[in-house]
Amino acid sequence: MLFTPAIKMDIVFSMIELRGIPSSPGITIGQVFLFLNEKPSVPEYIVPDNALKKEYDRFIKAAEKAEEEIKSLKVSSKKAQLDVESRFLDAHMLILKDPVFLEEVRKRLKEEKKNIEWILYDESEKYIQQLQSLGDPYLRERSFDIHDVSLRVLDHLLFRERISLADIDEEIVLVSHNLLPSDALAMNKRMIRGIATDVGGKTSHTAILARSFEIPAVLGLKNISRQVLPGMEIIIDGGAGIVILSPDEDTKRRYRQLQKKWEKWEVELLDLNTLRAETRDGKVITMNANIEVPEEVEAVHSHGAEGIGLYRSEFLFLRPEGFSSEEEQFRTYSQVLKEMNGKPVIIRTLDVGGDKIIPNLPDMDERNPILGWRAIRFCLSERGIFETQLRALLRASVHGNLHIMFPMISGVEELNQTLDILKSVKDDLRGKGIPFNEDIPLGSMIEVPSAAMTSDILAKKVDFFSIGTNDLIQYTIAVDRGNEMIAYLYQPFHPGVLRMIKMVIDGAHCNSIPVHMCGEMASDPYAAVILLGLGLDGFSMSSFGIPEIKRIIRSVSLFEAEELVGEAMEMDSYVEIDRFVKGWMNERFDFLTY
């Protein structure tokens, strides 16, 4: 592993501003520490027949050393109670022991008679490329794990000393092509004040970890690792996704002020934890958190969430180990419910398909997966999987305040069928004398336009709605949410989207059920007042976003929010609405900087 220590810079560079993916909020001004973890150069040569066994033994020994290293990293992460770290390390251990991978290495060694470093390197590259070519963000992240593990073994085979980011003992800003999960896990979090990488996005491990360690980060900068030199001055604005290299004095002054504001703001925000999200004229809004893994519950509490508005249960299924058994699901759901101490927990049933592909499942090779065998459609045809999940949920319901929510409902037939299956699972448990809460509130995600347009019908069947704008916007504007080429069309303030949201809220309110929003639009500060004015009852988002949205809600009245909506709804285009709403918000909130 190579790295370049920070050196004193005498060269004068002109200032450069780069834009990447805002991945963890906060502002940092510091010095570049360039961390180069590119592919190592690996020798390739032929091994004589009589040395093949020794060659394989060398591999096994290096793999054992790597395993020891991972184990000791795991012990330290356990001591520090870093469950997320521990999970990544478990995944690395599984890769090291994967029988298919090990057999392939042995077979190639026998057939090709090449040195083991080369075979290991070439075989893992093959896997990495296969995973990356699938275009699935989850599998892409798994490919980084394979890269990480094979590098660890190669380091031992080639007697290379692995330099740990744990040894960094001065404050720096880490710049790298890609930060491997194990490096991010091992790094000295107190000294790393910011992160900027060429690759990665909001769902990458690095982004997840940066957010949980509260380190400002901008990822997906394409080639920042080739634009910096060690020791160069750098500014990271993680919330805006901006990185400035060699900032001039004026820019530094401006960012120092922003940084002070941000720090003051963070402290002030914590004061809001005990207060309700209540408008100046007394409308109380529910503020919930979205989680993907149970370890996030702590952050849910520390950011003043009233409950969990969306637990994306599919992350229990999208793991290299495959499906979770009923028992494992039961334990996990029960743990979350208990740790939430009676506060509401909305668990969404399995939402796979589209871009969330479950490893090891029968062929889901579809021509149009986003419009295909997804979410509730998948569950209705794979009844065994669905019933197992419902049983686990029902059994866990005695441990807390469980709400169950169904994804991607497109019409009343699907909802009826879903409710029938739930009823039959309940009958079965009742027959067996297994206890569960008979009155679990049930909800439907509204994320398909046909569901939005029939919300008045669906509202008669459930206890609450939650609007999934990530998908609702995608389907309303017919814009693939993951396609960068057409990202400019993905517009939450499109009049079509705002009308759709209004339709859902009206459909629900006419039937006296509440409407929450758990898509990313709920955490967009610029959208908060508009959503309030449209009549939304609750917001659900990643825990860290809650205090800011709460503060906005507490600063306005429902009356002004409705007036803002009235004017915006008269406008013809998203360009006009966007300019109008952002202007209105910027006039009132000086902390909104982008």
Residue 285 binding: pick among ligand PEP, Mg ion, none (C-beta 5-8 Å cut-off by kind):
none
In angstroms, give the least distance from the CB of 480 to ligand PEP: 13
The contacts of residue 566 (CB under 8 Å, 6+ apart) are 533
* CA nearest to 207, candidates 243, 179, 227: 179
Residue 306 binding: pick among ligand PEP, Mg ion, none (C-beta 5-8 Å cut-off by kind):
none
Distance of CA 560 to the CA centre of its chain: 33
State which residue, 541 or 565, has the beta carbon closest to ligand PEP: 541
Given 471, 520, 548, 560, the residue binding Mg ion (CB under 5 A): 471
Under the binding rule (CB under 5 A), the answer on residue 198 touching Mg ion is no
Instruction: Give the integer Cα–Cα distance in Å for 408 and 415.
Output: 10
Based on the number of CB atoms within 10 Å of its own CB, is 210 exposed (0-12), middle (13-18) or buried (19 or more)?
Answer: buried
State which residue, 176 or 444, has the beta carbon closest to ligand PEP: 444
Distances from the Cα of 148 to the Cαs of 157, 169, 185, 499, in angstroms? 15, 23, 12, 47
Distances from the Cα of 536 to the Cαs of 127, 269, 280, 527, in angstroms? 46, 22, 16, 11
Interface residues toward ligand PEP, by CB under 6 A = 310, 312, 351, 447, 468-471, 518-519
Residue 519 binding: pick among ligand PEP, Mg ion, none (C-beta 5-8 Å cut-off by kind):
ligand PEP
Under the binding rule (CB under 5 A), the answer on residue 468 touching Mg ion is yes
Catalytic residues: 205, 518
The site that binds Mg ion (CB under 5 A) totals a number of residues, namely 3
Pick the stretch among 48-56, 81-89, 463-471, 579-587 that binds Mg ion (CB under 5 A): 463-471
In angstroms, give the least distance from the CB of 519 to Mg ion: 7
State which residue, 73 or 448, has the beta carbon closest to Mg ion: 448
Instruction: Give the integer Cα–Cα distance in Å for 517 and 520.
Output: 9
In angstroms, give the least distance from the CB of 250 to ligand PEP: 40
Pick the stretch among 200-208, 426-434, 461-469, 560-568 that binds Mg ion (CB under 5 A): 461-469
Tokens of 357: 């592909």
State which residue, 131 or 310, has the beta carbon closest to ligand PEP: 310
H-assigned helices in 19-164: 52-79, 83-97, 99-112, 116-133, 137-157
Pick the stretch among 167-175, 201-209, 446-454, 527-535 that binds Mg ion (CB under 5 A): 446-454
Q: Which amino acid is at 151?
A: L
Instruction: Considering only residues 473 through 512, tell me which ones interact with Mg ion, judged by CB under 5 A.
Output: none
Give kind and range of the element (H or E) at residue 380.
Answer: helix 375-381
State which residue, 329 or 469, has the beta carbon closest to ligand PEP: 469
Residue 537 binding: pick among Mg ion, ligand PEP, none (C-beta 5-8 Å cut-off by kind):
none
Pick the stretch among 43-51, 84-92, 178-186, 445-453 that binds Mg ion (CB under 5 A): 445-453
- Longest Cα–Cα distance of the chain, Å, equals 84
H-assigned helices in 304-344: 326-339
Pick the stretch among 49-57, 200-208, 462-470, 551-559 that binds Mg ion (CB under 5 A): 462-470
Other CB atoms within 10 Å distance of the CB of residue 321:
12
The contacts of residue 428 (CB under 8 Å, 6+ apart) are 391
In angstroms, give the least distance from the CB of 467 to ligand PEP: 7
The tally of CA atoms less than 13 A away on the side-chain side of residue 219 is 20
State which residue, 453 or 571, has the beta carbon closest to ligand PEP: 453
- Shortest-Cβ-distance residue relative to Mg ion: 471
Instruction: Give the integer Cα–Cα distance in Å for 389 and 395.
Output: 10
Task: Work out the angle between the directed axes of helices 383-396 and 412-431 (0-180°, nearest 10).
Answer: 60
State which residue, 303 or 312, has the beta carbon closest to ligand PEP: 312
Query: Which residues sit at the interface with Mg ion, rule CB under 5 A?
Result: 447, 468, 471
